[in-house]
Amino acid sequence: MTRNPDAPLPLLTADVDGGTFRLRPAVRADLPALVQLLADDSMGAARENVGDMEPYERAFAAIDGDPSHLLVVGELVPHGAENGSVVATFQLSFLPGISRQGSWRSQLEGVRVAGSLRGQGIGKVMVQWAIEESRRRGCSMMQLTTHKTRTAAHRFYERLGFDSSHEGMKLTL
């Protein structure tokens, strides 16, 4: 398999059903696929605007320009193919804190896997990589929020060792 020379080096490569799964840093050209992944359910469809890429481009520039943030895509390269397509994404942010003796924590956001590929272990591979990267960067904990109605996501994260120890709150501005 030949790697696309325009794509960043993979962060992780894993064999999965149907081909090779690669995690890599996102590039600007990935934005339409990322926004489509974010909009691929009733909750996301109400929040995202796949027809206007300008706000996503501004957000990408801010994330890409700050080493405390990492926007990652997952590509699936079918057996026998040279290049793949974006089928998953997440954002990982690294936050300093005064509490917990000044320890760092990571924040996992926007975890998405294409609907047709859910339940095949891709999400598990991504989150396990994010956990290890957080440890590598010296974080003492990883935190995330998931909407109360996403019960399948709750079960998924609990299977990976996450605990519903806090009640999250958000204020839409």
pLDDT tens-digit readout, 102-112: 999 999 999 99
Say if residues 69 and 58 touch (Cβ distance below 8 Å): no
By the 10 Å C-beta count (0-12 exposed, 13-18 middle, 19+ buried), 70 is classed as: buried
Mapping DSSP to helix (H, G, I), strand (E, B) and coil, where does residue 123 land?
helix
pLDDT tens-digit readout, 93-152: 999 999 999 999 999 999 999 988 888 899 999 999 999 999 999 999 999 999 899 999
Q: What's the predicted TM-score (pTM) here?
A: 0.90
pLDDT tens-digit readout, 19-51: 899 999 999 999 999 999 999 887 888 888 889
- Ordered by where they begin, the domains of the chain are 12-159 (3.40.630.30)
